[in-house]
Chain A
Amino acid sequence: MNDKIRQIFESAIWIIIIGATLYVVTQFSWDKAQQFLTYILVFGTLVSVYFYLSNRSLFADSKKKTKELLGKQKELKSRQKTIDLIFENSDDGIMILDHEKRIETFSPGMEKITGYDKDEAIGRLAKSLLKFHAEKNTSLLPDLMFTSTKLKKESPYINNSILSKEGKQTNIEASYTMIQNASGNKPKALAVMRDVTYEQALVERDKEFIAVTSHQLNTPLSIIRGYSALLLKEKAGKLNAKQREYLVQIKESVLKMIDLTNNLLSISRIEQDKIKLKIGDVNLCEIATNVAKEMQSKAKENNVKLSCKIKDKNLIIQADQERLSQALSNIIDNAIKYTPKGSVTGEIIDNKATVAIIIKDTGIGIPKDELEKIGEKFYRSQNAIDQDNQGTGLGVFIAKTIVEKHAGLFEVESKVGKGTTVKITLPKNQPITDTLTFKEKQDG
């Protein structure tokens, strides 16, 4: 029964009781009083039954609510226990500052990173206790913590180093956020800090490994390439037809090896996010013309007519010139390779905020069901494998990655036997990329 009906019912009972009392007072006689008492008795029984039933449901409601509240309290306690466990056991340091930037909460992880005990830290000004590497960021963490209100994926973070109590330098990565509550209390700020010294050492070691490997692989390859070229130039005497043929085979193979080594190195750097774009003003026409020039001899060898349609010869966009050339070169190289006889056409279209670079060939095409896999690492379509089993499936992957690093779009349309069109859409102005550090973002 809902409250309104109950209220009406209860009001009616009171009206009846008052009415009946008035009646008894005005019409008093012992017979009527006896009769009235009987009515009262019956009525009272009914009212008691009603209140019992009504109270029973109220009691049941209240019991249910109490149970719910107890459940929630239990859940909150369990959550608090989990948070405490995370707080106590996490290797990441967790620190909360009050509005005066004094340390309010200092986790064991923070103790490990900084060398200070909780008791030494709490109540101290964060800046006076924690010695950050001042040159790495213009604003230090305690100040930065009060500048952001997000602690999500896009939360700002800084890479810095911190000097511990014992003078040990630890490289840290910290994300931070300001805590504002609705009740109008003064804001606090939270920082989660991670010791990345070991990871950074691994990255450095890896970098050295890549450099040394590339050097070790490319040195013998460049010797084979160089001496093959000298022999083909007949610097060591005249060659007969067979000797020349064999040398050409050696040189072609070594060129493929060099190409493969360079592609593998590019991928290794892309995957470790080591390729940072060097953004500058780039004349798109100039890039396209240079790449087309470099590709002309290969096009000629394959009986392919390579041409470029560019309306605006002064079209400038923000991009990394070297990387963009690499992407275009890879796409055109592929287009020529898989166009046994026909044409490859490049076109640049100015769409105000973006530019589209379209490379169209009349080659073997890509089966429809394989289109979405084009651009995956090492993926090659079946008809490409049938035509040439020497390819690696890395060129398009590298091109696509470079385009995407420019916040661009890489699209492929194709029809088997008719040809393939690659459309690259690039913004004219580059957004600040995720790979930049906080300082680079600030400076930018």
Chain B
Amino acid sequence: MAKILIIDDEEPILNMYKESLSQHQVLTAKNGQEGLDMAEKEAPDLILLDIIMPEVNGLDVLAKLKGNKDTAFLPIVILTNLPEEASKEKATQLGATDYLVKAENEPDKLAEKVKEILGE
């Protein structure tokens, strides 16, 4: 069982992915700042991160986590509905492990991806 942190401002999204990842310990954060705090405090095995969020957006969260030596090694998967190539490129440059578009990835597919990244 891995510890997974999902950072997303949409409650239905959080609940949906929580359900599909029920075999893991799932933590949730509803905005970027809360996500940053939890990532440092909880030291999760994997972070699923949305981009468009109030206060601190996902790309800033990603940059901060990758710039912090305590969290830089964490695999971070961007989970967004922004299909813009520019966002994908930026996320990859910042060190995201993968970039998934929510509308194209059903919960089960995400669970498979998580399994793959965690090497289970």
User: A207 to B83, alpha carbons, bound, how many Å?
Assistant: 12
* B19, A230: Cβ atoms closer than 8 Å: yes
* B19, A214: Cβ atoms closer than 8 Å: no
* A233, B108: Cβ atoms closer than 8 Å: yes
Q: Which of B79-120 contact A (CB under 8 A)?
A: 80-84, 87, 101-104, 106-108
Q: How many B residues face the partner with a CB closer than 8 A?
A: 21
* B108, A215: Cβ atoms closer than 8 Å: no
* B13, A219: Cβ atoms closer than 8 Å: yes
Q: Which of A211-234 contact B (CB under 8 A)?
A: 211-212, 214-215, 218-219, 221-223, 225-227, 229-230, 233
State whether the Cβ of B16 lies closer than 8 Å to any Cβ in chain A. Answer: yes
State whether the Cβ of A196 lies closer than 8 Å to any Cβ in chain B. Answer: no
* B82, A226: Cβ atoms closer than 8 Å: no
* B106, A226: Cβ atoms closer than 8 Å: yes
The secondary-structure label for the interface of chain B is helix
Contacts of A223 in B (CB 8 A): 10, 12-13, 16
Residues 54-90 of chain B: 1 if any A CB is under 8 Å from the residue's CB, otherwise 0? 0000000000000000000000000011111001000
State whether the Cβ of B52 lies closer than 8 Å to any Cβ in chain A. Answer: yes
User: A157 to B16, alpha carbons, bound, how many Å?
Assistant: 51
A9 → B minimal CB distance (Å): 86
* A214, B81: Cβ atoms closer than 8 Å: yes
| Chain A CB within 10 Å, residue with most, of B10, B81, B101, B103 | B103
* A222, B19: Cβ atoms closer than 8 Å: no
* B16, A227: Cβ atoms closer than 8 Å: yes
User: A211 to B84, alpha carbons, bound, how many Å?
Assistant: 7
Among A215, A219, A225, contact of B106 (Cβ-Cβ < 8 Å): A225
Q: How many A residues face the partner with a CB closer than 8 A?
A: 22
Q: A223-B10, A262-B83 are in contact. Are A218 and B16 (CB under 8 A)?
A: no
Count of chain A to chain B residue pairs whose CB atoms are closer than 8 Å in the complex: 59
* B83, A265: Cβ atoms closer than 8 Å: yes
State whether the Cβ of B20 lies closer than 8 Å to any Cβ in chain A. Answer: yes
| Chain A CB within 10 Å, residue with most, of B80, B87, B101, B106 | B106
State whether the Cβ of A235 lies closer than 8 Å to any Cβ in chain B. Answer: yes
State whether the Cβ of A315 lies closer than 8 Å to any Cβ in chain B. Answer: no
Among B16, B81, B83, B103, contact of A230 (Cβ-Cβ < 8 Å): B16
Contacts of A262 in B (CB 8 A): 83, 103
User: A227 to B15, alpha carbons, bound, how many Å?
Assistant: 10
User: A212 to B16, alpha carbons, bound, how many Å?
Assistant: 22
User: A211 to B59, alpha carbons, bound, how many Å?
Assistant: 15
Q: Which of A230-278 contact B (CB under 8 A)?
A: 230, 233, 235, 258, 261-262, 265
Contacts of A230 in B (CB 8 A): 16, 19-20, 107
Q: A215-B52, A223-B10, A223-B16 are in contact. Are A229 and B106 (CB under 8 A)?
A: yes
- A residues adjacent to B (C-beta < 8 A): 207, 210-212, 214-215, 218-219, 221-223, 225-227, 229-230, 233, 235, 258, 261-262, 265
- B residues adjacent to A (C-beta < 8 A): 10, 12-13, 16-17, 19-20, 52, 80-84, 87, 101-104, 106-108
A-B contact pairs, 5 of them (CB 8 A): A215-B81, A215-B82, A219-B81, A222-B102, A225-B106
